[in-house]
Chains A and B, each alone.
Chain A
Amino acid sequence: MTTSIAEGTLDSRITTAEPSVSDFLELMKPRVMSLVVFTSLAGLFAAPGQLHPVLAVIAVICIAVGAGASGALNMWYDADIDARMARTAARPIPRGRVTADEALAFGSVLSVVSVLTLGVLVNWVAGGLLALTIAYYVFFYTMWLKRRTPQNIVIGGAAGSFPPMIGWAAVTGGVSIESVLMFLIIFMWTPPHFWALALYRCRDYERVGVPMLPVVAGPDETRRQILLYSLALVPLAISPYFIGLGGIAYAAVSTVLGLIFLYLAFKVWRVREGREGDHAAKQLFVFSIFYLFLLFAVLLGEHIALKFQ
């Protein structure tokens, strides 16, 4: 053994035991996958037209596996910094359960299989968008920009915004204003969500040299950016009602939740010191998860109700 995991360095040959199936499942970031499944379902049901239920299930599985594959490739590339951050030190590679080479092979095979299966069995617009999402997340975000720019979260957020567009494309075979709007909602939601987390977790990122906004520009600038993105997000999240993508329930929920979101973002901007400052950031972080989940749940619910009327 040439290096020690505890010291924060990594050797792809280090393993303490044979990896189990659950280690590979963990590589796929199951929690991220569940959010991807949920938002892609919203795109799938909101899209006009019909997709055979078997093909719809295949589409969702492929999108979930593709997301899992990019998660595995992200863990492969980021294994060195994962080992040195409290939040990620227990991941399969830093723990020595899976070697970096195994993660690379696993992620690559799943990427190819998910894209080809979606393309061949559903349609190639959806397959192409999935390929773009994986390539964007792995090459553009993880390998190129994550460690180079404080805008990494804004750029990386685009990868997480594609699933509803892929779901929509699976049904319609194309891209439209409605699917772009769903993309934009997640895209604008990501920076305030992650920067709220980064505000009270920035020491971890500072230690490994990832230029998160609070580390590079300072907490005050981060708070200002959170407020600005929130001001852009809230009207954008209400707008599906005006183009007929969301109904009256969506309009009501997105307005009420949007006002709460703005209040919490404003609180993060105002309360800057000590525990109260951290508490405000945590409140916004937790609420932002609930906010996005509920927006898409209502959208999904409305369209399911319409389809089964």
Chain B
Amino acid sequence: MAVTQDQDENTKRLQRQRLRSVAIALGLGFLVLLFYAATIVRMGN
């Protein structure tokens, strides 16, 4: 019983860790996109 609970906790922990990594990756990707878009806009001016 305790082992199953530990496994559940571990799975949830890994899931949260993965989601945080995805959020950081998306954030960085979005930042790159912003710089890319702003560069195009500024070059057009």
Contact = CB atoms under 8 A, between A and B. Distances in A.
Real complex partners, A and B? yes
Interface in B20-45: 20, 23, 31, 34-35, 37-38, 41, 45
A20 interface: yes
A61 B35 CA distance: 13
B34 A19 contact: no
Nearest to B37: A54
Contacts of B20: 18-21, 24
A113 B13 contact: no
B9 to A, nearest CB: 8
A248 interface: no
Contacts of B45: 52
A58 B12 CA distance: 35
A55 B35 CA distance: 10
Band of interface residues on B: 10 to 19
Contact of A18 (B16, B35, B38, B41): B16
Contact of B16 (A20, A54, A113, A117): A20
Contacts of A18: 12-13, 16-17, 20
B37 to A, nearest CB: 5
B23 A54 contact: no
Nearest to A61: B34
B16 A19 contact: yes
Nearest to B28: A113
Contacts of B37: 54, 58
Contacts of B38: 54-55, 58, 121
A15 B32 CA distance: 33
Nearest to B14: A18
A54 B19 contact: no
B24 to A, nearest CB: 9
Contacts of B34: 58, 61, 117, 121
A177 interface: no
B35 A121 contact: yes
Contacts of A19: 16, 20
A17 B12 CA distance: 9
Given A18-B13, A54-B37, A54-B41, A113 B31 contact: yes
A118 to B, nearest CB: 10
Which residue, of A18, A24, A58, has the highest number of chain B Cβ atoms within 10 A?
A18
A117 B31 contact: yes
A21 B23 contact: yes
A61 B20 CA distance: 20
Contacts of A17: 12-13, 16
10 contacts: A18-B12, A18-B13, A20-B19, A20-B20, A24-B20, A54-B37, A55-B38, A58-B34, A117-B31, A120-B35
Given A21-B20, A121-B35, 16 more contacts: A17-B12, A18-B12, A18-B13, A18-B16, A20-B16, A21-B19, A21-B23, A24-B20, A54-B38, A54-B41, A55-B41, A58-B38, A61-B34, A120-B35, A121-B34, A121-B38
Interface of B: 12-13, 16-17, 19-20, 23, 31, 34-35, 37-38, 41, 45
